């Protein structure tokens, strides 16, 4: 087992003259739940976008360590879909479901990079294609059941209640079989009950050995769920440590938590 699942060294990105991320170092351990917090505009979502290939970082290294792979794979410069294939999946801060597709189909999209059927296979619909399709449906359905969405399989994703949409985003990301799951404000807009449910789901996912890095403003959730917390402000890491350490860190209190 490697010590880390993801290692980021000196990650920087600039937009014009603005340095949105400034030589950020971060390392995640396998199976841990970590949080990335910071004030609005600190660069949290930019950081996620760099990791998942939506933005091209100007400097730095992003290395993913799949199990037993001591060398690791560099994710820098890969396209978003290649990064997902390597094992990094994410959700979005502003929900980005495929609204006109059914709940099940949304999950089935997540299986895309784990299946192979080509144009020819789709046209001929041979035994291999049918088997793969069956497999996609079964695996997708299993994920839906796990996240408590099985009752709305056939509903259009856009018609789901808000909390369920958030869960569906997580389900869709899980369908890609990630090693590391990036959650961008998963509890935003949820009521306390939905947040409780979400916390259980996140713990279950982590128990399966999937590492989780989440951005969140709900401090109760962050403090009770995460083993480690990273704090960034103005694109720079200002602190890292256990919830207790972060809570008493003067820099963090000044920049984010408040007195």
Q: Contact positions toward other proteins, by CB under 8 A?
A: 52-54, 79-81, 84-85, 89-90, 92, 96-102, 104-105, 108-110, 112-115, 117-119, 121-123, 125, 129, 132-134, 136-138, 140-141, 153-154, 156, 159, 172-173, 176
**Phi and psi for 129 in degrees, rounded to 5?**
-65, -45
Whole-angstrom distance, CA of residue 99 vs CA of residue 69: 38
DSSP state of 147: T
Q: Closest separation between CB of residue 234 and other proteins, Å?
A: 25
Please count the helices (runs of H) and the strands (runs of E) in the chain: 10, 10
Give 119 or 207: the residue with its C-beta nearer to other proteins: 119
Whole-angstrom distance, CA of residue 37 vs CA of residue 98: 28
C-alpha distance from residue 52 to each of 33, 46, 64 (Å): 18, 10, 12
Q: Closest separation between CB of residue 142 and other proteins, Å?
A: 8
Give 49 or 240: the residue with its C-beta nearer to other proteins: 49
Whole-angstrom distance, CA of residue 144 vs CA of residue 4: 30
Q: Closest separation between CB of residue 169 and other proteins, Å?
A: 9
Q: Closest separation between CB of residue 164 and other proteins, Å?
A: 13
Give 80 or 189: the residue with its C-beta nearer to other proteins: 80
Q: Closest separation between CB of residue 86 and other proteins, Å?
A: 10
Whole-angstrom distance, CA of residue 76 vs CA of residue 84: 13
Q: Closest separation between CB of residue 207 and other proteins, Å?
A: 24
The structure tokens listed for 42 are: 């600190």
Give 125 or 254: the residue with its C-beta nearer to other proteins: 125
Give 106 or 211: the residue with its C-beta nearer to other proteins: 106
Give 1 or 119: the residue with its C-beta nearer to other proteins: 119
- How many CB atoms are located within 10 Å of the residue 11 CB? 23
DSSP state of 152: G
């Amino acid at each position: 087992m490697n010590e880390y699942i993801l290692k980021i060294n000196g990650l920087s990105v600039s937009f014009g003259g603005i340095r949105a991320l400034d030589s950020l170092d971060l390392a995640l351990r396998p199976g841990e739940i970590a949080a990335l917090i910071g004030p609005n505009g600190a660069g949290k979502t930019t950081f996620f976008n760099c990791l998942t290939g939506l933005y091209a970082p100007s400097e730095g290294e992003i290395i993913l360590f799949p199990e037993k792979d001591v060398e690791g794979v560099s994710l820098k410069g890969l396209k978003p879909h290649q990064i997902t294939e390597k094992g990094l999946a994410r959700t979005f801060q502003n929900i980005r479901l495929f609204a006109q597709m059914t709940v099940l189909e949304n999950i089935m999209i997540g299986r895309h990079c784990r299946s192979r059927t080509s144009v020819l296979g789709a046209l001929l619909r041979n035994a291999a294609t049918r088997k793969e399709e069956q497999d996609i449906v079964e695996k997708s359905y299993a994920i839906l059941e796990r996240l408590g969405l099985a009752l709305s399989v056939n509903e259009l994703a856009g018609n789901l209640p808000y909390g369920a949409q958030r869960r569906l985003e997580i389900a869709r990301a899980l369908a890609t079989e990630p090693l590391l799951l990036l959650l961008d404000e998963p509890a935003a807009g949820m009521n306390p009950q939905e947040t409780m449910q979400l916390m259980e789901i996140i713990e279950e996912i982590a128990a399966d050995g999937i590492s989780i890095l989440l951005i969140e403003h709900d401090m109760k959730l962050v403090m009770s769920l995460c083993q480690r917390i990273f704090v960034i402000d103005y694109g720079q890491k200002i602190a890292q440590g256990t919830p207790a350490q972060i809570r008493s860190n003067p820099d963090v209190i000044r920049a984010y938590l408040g007195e």
